[in-house]
């Protein structure tokens, strides 16, 4: 029974490898030299592998969906008639997977393919060497082993960094591994999210950290990436309601909703004399204080210079009214259907909620493996909400060592799975009433910061929260950054929108 289970998993791995070979030039380049047809346990997989290998050797590119069918039509006469319908069904399944793979985690496929190839090669070698030794053919056994060692050397993972092809690979990597970035000024500040990155969000309690993790999840799906969202805090139903609001921008009762918007300080204090100014009404009084919203009905925010003449735009915020639909089953289903046609929500998003303190990263890895082998779902983005309530990997008496172990393991997860991993953490209690949060406010163990590739730091006063405004700064590894440089972010959580717009805070005001 164990052997049957193992074989079923291996066939799944072979299908995943062949999907990668069909889709990705990079997978072909790395795996074709490492895999022999006899390593594949399915005879139909071995047939298709030979076709793809021949195509790649001729054209130096993966065949793609269209050419898979062409290959079948050309080559089917060369295989036994009984195999033709089975191979055709096999290719139809691969083509279906290809259609779904608008993004493909090539590095993860390569890693798994190399491990699988090495395992199969060693099993076959062991079987053949043992058979030769059993009949006393020692020299032939030695020759077989020497041949395997020579082949293994050709696919070694050691790198010669100054070879021209390796230089090209490094520069290609910069393009291939970029997944996405936040829109607007926040994206300019934080830069690109890449495969292998481990990213954190840090802020005082109740400062929308979970909202930001969900925003990244939705953003990932909108870039047609596969996203696995893992919650260790909220029930799945509560998370789903938030996700539905994010997709629909609907509110509980429907109707007019106050939204924050950007405005120019020169418009608010009346100092702007430009003809392009949107109104002639002054908002602020002599002390620089603004009235309650709607107190000046004729006032209109002005952002004319924001993109056309940024030097004249001094970022501030005000409000506008927006009509929003009522949050109902019908509203959600219509919106999800509309969005799914473009962004493949149904295929590209998976959610799992664990009870608090019940799961560690080993449990998460186990469930990710099940997701991969049961659905063929390999995440490009894994979001864990949130690291502070993960169960320890190892039982230790020192709480700080447990925290360090958890964050190191999360960083390892990003590298192993060749994906973006994102989580959140609380700051210490001393930061809760502070206007601006610093990286030094990290709770429990400062070693969290060195373990991440980027840490978003959330700051928000009570007044800012009431205005739908928060500030973000970022600490980045291997890049110049200024922790004091902040971006103002607008949000409307009632409508499920933690990130409406962003603007760099000008240091001269």
Q: Which of 301, 324, 347 is the last residue of a domain?
A: 324
For residue 292, what pLDDT is reported? 79
Radius of gyration of the chain from its Cα atoms, rounded to whole angstroms? 28
Q: What are phi and psi of 448, to 5 degrees?
A: -60, -40
- Cα–Cα distance, 250 to 328 (Å, whole number): 8
236 in Cβ contact with 359 (< 8 Å): no
Residue 83: CATH number of its domain: 1.10.860.10
> Tens digit of pLDDT for each residue in 357-389?
788 898 999 999 888 877 878 999 999 998 888
Q: Is residue 79 part of a domain?
A: yes
Can you tell me the distance from the alpha carbon of 376 to that of 374, in angstroms, rounded to the nearest whole number? Answer: 6
102: confidence class by pLDDT, cuts 50, 70, 90 = low
The verdict on residue 171 lying in a domain is no
Decide which of 288, 306, 324 is a domain's last residue. 324
Residues whose CB is less than 8 angstroms from the CB of residue 407 and which lie 6 or more positions away in sequence, other chains included:
387, 445, 447, 448, 451, 452
CATH number at residue 378: 3.40.50.300
The torsion angles phi and psi of 294, rounded to 5 degrees, stand at 80, -5
Contact partners, residue 106, CB within 8 Å, separation at least 6: 20, 24, 26, 27, 176
Q: Say whether both 143 and 285 belong to one domain.
A: no
Give the per-residue pLDDT at 479. 66
* Contact predicate 282/257, CB 8 Å: no
Q: Indicate the pTM of the whole model.
A: 0.81
Q: Are residues 309 and 361 in the same domain?
A: no
Q: Is the pLDDT of residue 326 over 90?
A: yes
Question: Is residue 160 included in any domain, yes or no?
Answer: no
Are 193 and 104 found together in one domain?
Answer: no
Residue 98: predicted pLDDT? 53
What is the rounded CA–CA span in Å between residue 64 and residue 302? 50
Do 126 and 183 belong together in one domain?
no
Report pLDDT for 30. 87
My answer on whether 190 and 55 are in the same domain is no
**Whether the Cβ atoms of residue 455 and residue 200 lie closer than 8 Å to each other:** yes
331 & 246 share domain:
yes
- The rounded distance, in Å, linking the Cα atoms of 441 and 202 is 9
Beta bridge partners of 459: 471
For CA atoms 393, 397, 403, 404, the dihedral sign is negative
Q: What is the pLDDT of residues 296-313, one digit of tens each?
A: 678 899 999 999 999 999
Which residues, in sequence order, are CB contacts of 390 under 8 Å at separation 6+?
232, 357, 359, 360, 361, 384, 406
Q: Domain containing 279: what range?
A: 255-324
Are 276 and 147 members of one domain? no
Q: Do 241 and 262 have their domain in common?
A: no
pLDDT in the model for residue 63: 86
In a domain, 509, yes or no: no
Query: How many independent structural domains does the chain possess?
Result: 3
Query: Helices 2-23 and 64-75 sit at what angle, rounded to 10 degrees?
Result: 110
The verdict on 240 and 283 lying in the same domain is no
| Any domain includes 455 | yes
Helix, strand or coil, per DSSP, at residue 259: strand
**Which residues, 6 or more positions from 89, have their beta carbon under 8 angstroms from its beta carbon?**
none
Cβ(317)–Cβ(261) under 8 Å? yes
Cβ-proximal residues to 459 (8 Å cutoff; 6+ apart), any chain: 203, 434, 435, 436, 437, 470, 471, 472, 473, 486
How is residue 327 written in tokens? 């949050």
Lowest mean pLDDT across 56-65, 138-147, 431-440, 492-501: 138-147
Question: For residue 222, how far is the Cα from the chain centroid?
Answer: 11
Given the structure tokens 């007044």, which residue do they identify? 463
Residue 162 resides in a domain: no
Do the beta carbons of residue 368 and residue 195 sit within 8 Å? no
399: its two tokens: 């709480």
Cis check for the bond before 386: say yes or no (omega within 30 of 0).
yes
Supply 444's token pair.
């429990």
Please indicate, yes or no, if residue 163 is contained in any of the structural domains: no
Handedness of CA 137, 140, 141, 142 (dihedral sign): positive
Q: State the average pLDDT for the chain.
A: 84
Cβ 239 vs Cβ 312: under 8 Å: no
Of the listed ranges 13-27, 222-236, 247-261, the least confidently predicted one is 13-27
Is residue 464 one of the residues assigned to a domain? Answer: yes
Strand duo 420-426 + 178-180: pairing: unpaired
Helices (H), 160-251: 164-176, 184-190, 209-222, 236-248
Tokens for 72, please give them: 């079948």
Q: Which two tokens stand for residue 462?
A: 């009570």
Under DSSP, the state recorded for 364 is H
């Amino acid at each position: 029974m164990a052997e049957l289970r193992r074989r079923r998993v291996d066939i799944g791995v072979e299908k995943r490898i062949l999907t990668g070979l069909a889709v990705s030039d990079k997978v072909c380049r790395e795996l074709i030299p490492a895999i022999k047809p006899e390593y594949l346990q399915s005879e139909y997989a071995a047939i298709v592998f030979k076709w793809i290998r021949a195509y790649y050797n001729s054209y130096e590119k993966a065949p793609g969906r269209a050419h898979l069918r062409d290959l079948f039509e050309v080559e089917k006469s060369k295989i036994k008639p009984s195999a033709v319908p089975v191979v055709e069904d096999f290719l139809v399944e691969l083509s279906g997977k290809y259609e779904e793979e608008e993004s493909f985690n090539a590095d993860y496929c390569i890693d798994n393919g190399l491990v699988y190839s090495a395992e199969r090669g060693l099993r076959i070698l062991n079987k053949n060497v043992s058979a030769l030794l059993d009949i006393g053919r020692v020299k032939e056994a030695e020759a077989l082993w020497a041949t395997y060692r020579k082949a293994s050397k050709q696919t070694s993972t050691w790198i010669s960094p100054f070879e021209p092809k390796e230089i090209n690979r490094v520069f290609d990597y910069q393009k291939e591994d970029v997944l996405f970035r936040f829109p607007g000024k926040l994206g300019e500040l934080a830069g690109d999210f890449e495969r292998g990155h481990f990213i954190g969000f840090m802020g005082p309690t109740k400062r929308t950290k979970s909202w930001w993790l969900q925003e990244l999840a939705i953003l990932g799906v909108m870039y047609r990436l596969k996203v696995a969202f893992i919650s260790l805090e909220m029930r799945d139903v509560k998370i789903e309601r938030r996700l539905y609001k994010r997709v629909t921008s609907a509110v509980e009762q429907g109707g007019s909703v106050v939204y924050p918007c950007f405005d120019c300080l020169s418009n608010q204090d009346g100092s702007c004399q430009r003809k392009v100014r949107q109104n002639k009404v002054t908002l602020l009084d002599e002390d620089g204080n603004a009235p309650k919203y709607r107190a000046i009905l004729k006032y209109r925010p002005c952002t004319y210079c924001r993109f056309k003449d940024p030097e004249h735009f001094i970022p501030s915020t005000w409000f506008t009214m927006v009509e929003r639909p009522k949050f109902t089953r019908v509203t959600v289903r219509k919106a999800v259907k509309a969005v799914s046609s473009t962004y493949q929500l149904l295929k590209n998003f998976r959610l799992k909620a664990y009870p608090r303190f019940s799961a560690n990263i080993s449990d998460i890895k186990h469930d990710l493996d099940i997701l991969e082998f049961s659905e063929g779902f390999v995440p490009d983005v894994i979001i864990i909400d949130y690291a502070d309530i993960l169960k320890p990997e190892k039982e230790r008496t020192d709480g700080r060592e447990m925290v360090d172990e958890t964050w190191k393991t999360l960083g390892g997860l990003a590298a192993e799975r060749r994906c973006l991993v994102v989580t959140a953490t609380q700051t210490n209690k001393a930061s809760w009433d502070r206007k601006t949060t610093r990286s030094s406010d990290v709770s429990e163990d400062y070693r969290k910061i060195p373990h991440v590739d980027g840490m978003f730091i959330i700051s928000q006063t009570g007044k800012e929260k009431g205005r739908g405004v928060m500030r973000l700064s970022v600490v980045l590894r291997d890049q110049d950054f200024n922790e004091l440089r902040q971006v103002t972010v607008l949000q409307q959580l009632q409508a499920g929108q933690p990130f409406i717009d962003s603007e760099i805070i000008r240091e001269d005001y």
